[in-house]
Amino acid sequence: MTTTLRPAEAERREADGGRSRRFAVCVNSRPVGTIQLATDRRFGPEVGRIVSLDIDEPDRRRGRGTVAALAAEEVLRGWGCRRVELRVPADAEIALRLVGALGYVERSHGMVKLLPRTPPDLPPGVVVRPMREDEYPAWHERDRARYIDGWVRRGVPYEQASAEADGESRTLLPDGPHTADAVLRVLTQGGEDVGWLWLGLGSADSAWVYSVEVAAARRGQGHGRTLMLLAERECLAAGVRSLRLHVFAGNTPAQRLYESLGYRSTTVYLAKPLL
């Protein structure tokens, strides 16, 4: 039997070069599922995405998804893509095994925690204050550099990573330290700045931890945990009961910290070069 992709709709083209199209997954011309492909809005038309892949229940566990994913890579190569990315629910063990066998590598995890009703206590001796306007430029430059470095170390070209960082800033911090719903806090101990927190309260249901930074000389002293507890306190004060974050694969200390605080993985983001 031959598994192929058949266009199920007209291809959509964007002014910036973006493309997307939905295909039917067929076995000997018989539809057995669908797959949606697109180029990446963040990194441009050289990066493709498998947005969704669904095989009908009677045809699962027969290799249809594997062949469809490989055929999708050929389509994306034809679009000029040099890398393909996708995301898989963290509890989808079969799908994760499939993409791992196809050469996809974990890039990052999305995690979430449902917050308790009682705000956690912070350790004695620490003080929290808002970030001052004169402190913002230096903090922002450090955060931008760390963000870019995280992508570059995972194979993203510097120019793309830099453009992504700047795009994130324009979207999430359009008014800098005065951006509505952006919580920027500094953690101090003994009069010394030891950590910085950036929290986004853009939704009544869920907030995002965008950045946690501990001063290099003060790492390993529990300040990262304190900053995460501070994020919980800020959320609860704003009436938000769910806190989300994104952690790069390979950042084992951070992932262990989040897991110890009760965060669970919801989504695994993976990538593969298209040679």
Residue ranges of the domains in the chain? Answer: 3-81, 116-240
Task: Give percent above pLDDT 70 in the chain.
Answer: 100
Q: Furthest-apart CA pair in the chain: how many Å?
A: 72
Query: Is residue 15 over pLDDT 90?
Result: no
pLDDT for 36-72, tens place per residue? 999 998 888 999 999 999 999 999 988 999 999 999 9
The pLDDT of residue 266: 96
Query: Is residue 204 over pLDDT 80?
Result: no
Check if 3-81 and 116-240 are the same fold: yes
Residues 166-189 have a mean pLDDT of: 95
Query: Is residue 230 over pLDDT 70?
Result: yes
Closest C-alpha to 230, from 267, 275, 255, 261: 261
Distance of alpha carbon 206 from alpha carbon 243, whole angstroms: 6
CATH class of the 116-240 domain in this structure: alpha beta
The pLDDT of residue 114: 96
Residues 211-227 have a mean pLDDT of: 95
Angstrom CA distances, 109 to 140, 148, 183, stand at: 23, 17, 23
Distance of alpha carbon 19 from alpha carbon 41, whole angstroms: 9
Q: What global pTM score does this model have? A: 0.88
* Proportion of the chain in helix, strand, coil states, percent, rounded to 5: 30, 35, 30
CATH architecture of the domain formed by 3-81? 3-Layer(aba) Sandwich (3.40)
The pLDDT of residue 1: 64
Distance of alpha carbon 243 from alpha carbon 261, whole angstroms: 11
Q: Read off φ and ψ for residue 169, nearest 5 degrees.
A: -65, -45
Query: Is residue 237 over pLDDT 80?
Result: yes
Report the mean per-residue pLDDT for the chain.
94
Query: Is residue 202 over pLDDT 80?
Result: no
